[in-house]
Structure 1
């Protein structure tokens, strides 16, 4: 527990050297502009008779950057607020109440940790604490979750179910837009759901530190709630942009499996999280992943419709994730492993 960032960070006035990133990887002091071109898509319009237009907006966002935000998504606003309050309460509990969850073992199912999955081997640490655990099916995993705060399992459980339903609804619209068979994103491709709760304490020097290093997500789709505090940045056309916050909006980020399935039509953008010196920031990320033994490849229906050759060979998700960890989240380097040459 002595490694847990929140247990000691308020006592230091300067950034420890093992949290200082190299100059070409740190955010520096430059002002990052707001990502004004990040689409904000009103999902209620898909219910009120304009479904095709909403689907086209989603497809365009998937092609342009792989990043968009959704509003009027029908995830209960009170539930979102309650979940964020529970998350804050969890991270601010005394260390003794969190000690049983802390682990350096990346294979532990429900795990509290500092920095990344590989704290012991990394030369520089991220300025964040995280709690990560599986959450689907709920009844299989909920007993592994924190017992404190007392409402954690009830509130977070309801949240994960609603956000999963939203994720599957988005994937079904993507499926419809690409003219794939209904149910293409079935249990093999979406059977694993992981929740990661992030706590970024105030940082002595945000220009030198990183909350999360730049990376592309290896999964199918990520749905993030970032509250009302900016910190998420996306790389677009070689420039970093800050992802704006909107009340009760979710940021949707395509994982690299969708880039493969779409045969390169969709983007999976590099993104990162930065820190600030004044306030703690909390985020809730839900990751929809394929099962480890699921095989991923460009959708055959899409290849036939477009009369084109596949850009990527078929692979298992376990194989992809091993390559992702080997390349430490470097998205393009990971994809290169699976590209068909020539």
Structure 2
């Protein structure tokens, strides 16, 4: 027997069979976009978050001084970014029957389309659909990628790897290490692209685009459209990150925080649901080959002293990511689980 759960909607408590509603939503394979296409006017209960998880608690818009000019690393980068946004948009705008061939809960596949990877164990679902492509070290065959965004996925991934390697060299130098130290640790061996599609939401005050989390990567390079909605946690308050069509957002991931022994910190962030949409973003996660279970990652010994001993235990990237997947986006820290 499925246990009924309690939901609060418009101030009225109601009991409902949450698991059955999750299964019914998932089995359509149409995602959140399918709900919007049907003309939904209220957010279904499975998407409703407790008010304290959505509360704004906003600061005035923070100015971001760390805008780094890397112009010249690639030619015509603005064109490539726009093509990537357009390709993602075309994928989600396809007929549901066309997209169903990629819809799966099997996260070991190289191309995965679904709505909420943690749908069945998150406290509440987020208002978004996603396509995930594992592009390195062993990319899918071109014919395995969706035709609408195949060519730009391949081209964009190559450019992101070039940029990621450059950034990791700069970070290595900033830590006082050999410029290739992080690259030699395979921090850019793997690349996963996660393309999020968040349709216009009829009641954005009740749900989230993406709940609070930090990234299970060494580094994340984010491309977003001009709608905004991304917020980061700064001094215990949520700060809007204004979209910049000429820039990419770079996040330190949990794994880089772990091996740098907190010299580099990952930033918790979230995305608001919006009345307007769709909002499209593409997050490129630099990591290792997830099937490589042999290598263990721990705080880099060159960064340790008697005064600054290791703060984290050793882990493999596979173990770290499996814990992240099982935990889901529940608003709690992943990296703290590995603290000594």
TM-score past 0.5 threshold: yes
Aligned-pair CA distance for 1:43: 2.4
Q: Say which of 267, 272, 296 aligns to 2:265.
A: 267
Q: Single out whichever of 122-131 and 317-326 deviates more from structure 2.
A: 317-326
Aligned-pair CA distance for 1:251: 0.3
Confirm or deny that 1:43 pairs with 2:70: yes
Residue 283 of structure 1 aligns to a residue in which SS? strand
Aligned-pair CA distance for 1:208: 1.0
Confirm or deny that 1:84 pairs with 2:85: yes
Indicate how the Cα distance of structure 1 residues 265 and 107 shifts in structure 2: closer, same or farther if over 3 A, else same. Answer: same
Instruction: Tell me what 1:183 maps to.
Output: 180
Confirm or deny that 1:108 pairs with 2:109: yes
Confirm or deny that 1:15 pairs with 2:43: yes
Mapped partners of 1:268, 1:187: distance in 2: 19
Aligned-pair CA distance for 1:164: 1.4
Indicate how the Cα distance of structure 1 residues 105 and 283 shifts in structure 2: closer, same or farther if over 3 A, else same. Answer: same
Aligned-pair CA distance for 1:326: 4.1
CA offsets 1:4-44 (integer angstroms, 9 cap, x no match): 1111224111111111101111246x766323245211224
Mapped partners of 1:327, 1:122: distance in 2: 8
Instruction: Tell me what 1:25 maps to.
Output: 53
Aligned-pair CA distance for 1:224: 0.5
Q: Say which of 146, 153, 158 aligns to 2:155.
A: 158
CA offsets 1:169-208 (integer angstroms, 9 cap, x no match): 1011101121212322236332211001110000011111
Residue 208 of structure 2 aligns to a residue in which SS? coil
CA offsets 1:75-129 (integer angstroms, 9 cap, x no match): 6221111121111111111112211111133333211111x21323445211001
Indicate how the Cα distance of structure 1 residues 137 and 276 shifts in structure 2: closer, same or farther if over 3 A, else same. Answer: same
Residue 240 of structure 1 aligns to a residue in which SS? strand
CA offsets 1:216-269 (integer angstroms, 9 cap, x no match): 111100000112121111001000011111122100011011111211111111
Indicate how the Cα distance of structure 1 residues 320 and 104 shifts in structure 2: closer, same or farther if over 3 A, else same. Answer: closer
CA offsets 1:281-338 (integer angstroms, 9 cap, x no match): 111111011234231111112225x863111122212222233334434686433332
Aligned-pair CA distance for 1:73: 6.7
Mapped partners of 2:76, 2:287: distance in 1: 21
Residue 68 of structure 2 aligns to a residue in which SS? strand
Query: TM-score if structure 2 supplies the norm length?
Result: 0.83
Confirm or deny that 1:142 pairs with 2:142: yes
Aligned length: 308
Residue 172 of structure 1 aligns to a residue in which SS? helix
Mapped partners of 1:118, 1:250: distance in 2: 26
Q: Single out whichever of 5-14 and 221-230 deviates more from structure 2.
A: 5-14
Contact kept? 1:38, 1:243, Cα under 8 Å: no
Mapped partners of 1:73, 1:274: distance in 2: 31
Residue 320 of structure 2 aligns to a residue in which SS? helix
Residue 24 of structure 1 aligns to a residue in which SS? helix
Indicate how the Cα distance of structure 1 residues 332 and 124 shifts in structure 2: closer, same or farther if over 3 A, else same. Answer: closer
Report the aligned-residue RMSD.
2.4
